[in-house]
């Protein structure tokens, strides 16, 4: 194997980790994935989420900090359009040298359709499929003094990557359940192709305060527990699968949300409780997310 | 005019203005909404209802799943407009009922 190929292969081992940061979170209840709750017609929801992620493997440390901005728009009460853009700063400390890249990443555009809803007093059940594409808007040719950054450290992938899935939400005044299954088919760019991603997510939120509802429109404090089962396929470098990339991870995420009619503040810590990764792929240590949402 | 008399006159004026404003509100209606289960979603309903001409005040009771809509003086609320507004917010109107003055105070 050539030196160039070895370097590229080594870099590809970061791939699954960085791809997991991709903002699948959108507007509503869960903090690590989407919900089927509606956006009112001709209304917007803005979500800002600050992110910190740390991952390690033998003699390598990866730190990712940044922000994910999501804007949702209610085209009708059943059709919502979303745009999401991350700004990430990624630093990889390989022991002998440190490399980093930062900038706006790939914009994700998608639509969600409420295919089924059952509204009843104090509760709602909804099923909403969604479909979209991750566009190659981020810079995919960043360089440092060592040359072009490895693809996973680039802000952009350079590729058009379609994704889709379905979300189920059951919400009552006391608690909320969300579940999602999603798939992203990554395509090739710059001789590199991230492995496809499939994920299964679940979330349970429970109203901690106020314990009793005394009329009016009080703010709610929710305690939340989310679970994310994420599988990444192996990356491909120049058409050859990298046996040191991809794998399966299970995260559990306790969190809190303070919800008013106009805004939400929230935070969660994603803890990897099981990781079955290929070869020497980087393992997550922790992912922390804090943020807010605004209705307008 | 002496200072006490001036104060009394100003107080009377303020009371008169407040009474006039209070009496300027129109009829109130109770709108029952199915599917409403969190404060963040209530905003969408209130926003849609506020688009209806003549709506003066909205009071949401999330536990009761209802919104009390008070109109401007001389305005009335059309049920079909309310149903459309609630639907545009993604919810379902299950009841529409005019409230008498005593209920609305």
pLDDT digits (tens, 9 = 90+) for A66-83: 999 999 999 999 999 999
Residues of B in contact with A261 (CB under 8 A): 39-40, 42-43, 46, 60
**pTM: predicted TM-score of the whole model, two decimal places:** 0.87
Cis amide leading into A175 (omega within 30): no
Residues of A in contact with B91 (CB under 8 A): 38, 119, 124
User: CA separation (Å) from A220 to A47, A276, A290, B23, B37?
Assistant: 18, 37, 17, 34, 11
Interface residue ranges in chain A relative to chain B, Cβ cutoff 8 Å: 28-29, 37-43, 74, 76-78, 114, 117, 119-124, 171-173, 176, 213-220, 259-262, 264, 293, 295
Q: Which residue of B has its CA nearest to A36?
A: B90
pLDDT of residue A14: 58
Instruction: Report the candidate in B95, B97, B99 with the shortest Cα–Cα distance to residue B34.
Output: B95
Q: Is A100 inside a domain boundary?
A: no
Residue of A41, A46, A115, A292 to mutate, interface with B, max B Cβ within 10 Å? A41
Q: Is A81 inside a domain boundary?
A: no
Residue B56 has pLDDT above 60, yes or no: yes
pLDDT of residue B23: 55
- C-alpha–C-alpha distance, residues A52 and A100, integer Å: 15
Tell if the CB–CB gap between B89 and A120 is shorter than 8 Å.
no
Residues of B in contact with A176 (CB under 8 A): 37-38
- C-alpha–C-alpha distance, residues A236 and A152, integer Å: 12
For B:58-97, CB contacts with A below 8 A are 59-65, 87-92, 94
Please answer whether residues A218 and A210 qualify as being in contact, where contact means their C-beta atoms are separated by less than 8 angstroms: yes
pLDDT single digits (tens) B9-47? 666 666 555 555 555 689 999 999 999 999 999 999 999
- C-alpha–C-alpha distance, residues A169 and A35, integer Å: 6
Structure tokens at A93: 């400390």
pLDDT of residue A95: 83
pLDDT of residue A6: 47
Tell if the CB–CB gap between B35 and A124 is shorter than 8 Å.
yes
Q: Is A176 inside a domain boundary?
A: yes
Cα A174 from chain centroid? 26
- C-alpha–C-alpha distance, residues A85 and A230, integer Å: 21
pLDDT of residue B94: 97
CATH, range B26-104: 3.30.70.100
Tell if the CB–CB gap between A215 and B44 is shorter than 8 Å.
no
Domain boundaries, chain B: 26-104
Q: Is A71 inside a domain boundary?
A: no
Please answer whether residues A87 and A101 qualify as being in contact, where contact means their C-beta atoms are separated by less than 8 angstroms: no
Q: Which residue of A has its CA nearest to B90?
A: A77
> Mean pLDDT in chain B?
86
- As for how many domains chain A has, the answer is 1
Residues of B in contact with A214 (CB under 8 A): 63
Residues of A in contact with B40 (CB under 8 A): 28, 259-261, 264, 293, 295
Q: Is A157 inside a domain boundary?
A: yes
Residues of B in contact with A41 (CB under 8 A): 48, 88-89
Q: Which residues of chain A have pLDDT under 70?
A: 1-28
Structural domain that includes position A197: 3-37+112-287
Q: Is A102 inside a domain boundary?
A: no
Q: Which residue of B has its CA nearest to A264?
A: B40
């Amino acid at each position: 194997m050539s030196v160039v190929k070895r370097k590229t292969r080594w870099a590809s081992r970061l791939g699954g980790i960085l791809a997991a940061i991709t903002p699948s979170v959108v507007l509503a209840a869960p903090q690590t994935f989407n919900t089927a709750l509606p956006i009112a017609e001709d209304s917007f929801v803005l979500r800002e989420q600050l992110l910190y992620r740390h991952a390690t493997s033998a003699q390598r440390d990866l730190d990712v900090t940044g922000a994910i901005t999501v804007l949702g728009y209610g085209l009708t009460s059943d059709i919502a359009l979303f745009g999401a853009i991350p700004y990430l700063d990624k630093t990889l400390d390989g022991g002998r040298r440190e490399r980093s890249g930062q900038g706006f990443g790939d914009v994700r555009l998608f639509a969600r359709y409420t295919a089924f809803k059952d509204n009843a007093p104090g509760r709602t059940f909804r099923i909403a499929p969604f479909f979209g594409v991750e566009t190659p808007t981020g810079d995919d040719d960043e360089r440092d003094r060592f040359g072009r950054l490895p693809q996973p450290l680039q802000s952009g992938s350079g590729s058009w990557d379609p994704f889709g899935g379905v979300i189920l939400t059951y919400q009552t005044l006391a608690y909320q359940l969300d579940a999602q299954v999603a798939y992203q088919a990554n395509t090739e760019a710059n001789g590199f192709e991230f492995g496809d991603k499939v994920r299964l997510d679940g979330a349970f939120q429970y109203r901690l305060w106020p314990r009793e509802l005394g009329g009016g429109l009080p703010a709610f404090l929710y305690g939340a527990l989310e679970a994310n089962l994420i599988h990444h396929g192996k990356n491909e470098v120049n058409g050859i699968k990298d046996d040191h990339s991809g794998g399966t991870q299970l995260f559990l995420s306790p969190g809190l949300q303070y919800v008013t009619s106009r805004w939400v503040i929230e935070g969660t810590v994603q803890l990897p409780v099981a990781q079955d990764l290929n070869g020497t792929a980087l393992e997550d240590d922790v992912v922390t997310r804090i943020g807010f949402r605004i209705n307008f | 005019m002496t200072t006490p008399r001036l104060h009394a006159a100003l107080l009377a004026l303020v009371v008169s203005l407040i009474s006039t404003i209070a009496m300027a509100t129109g009829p109130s209606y109770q709108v029952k909404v199915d599917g409403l289960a969190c404060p963040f979603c209530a905003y969408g309903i209130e926003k849609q209802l506020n688009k209806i001409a003549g709506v003066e005040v909205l009071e949401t009771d999330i536990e009761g799943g209802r919104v009390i809509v008070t109109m401007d003086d001389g305005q009335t609320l059309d049920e079909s407009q309310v149903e459309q507004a609630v639907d545009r917010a993604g919810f379902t109107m299950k009841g529409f009922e005019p409230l008498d003055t005593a209920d609305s105070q």
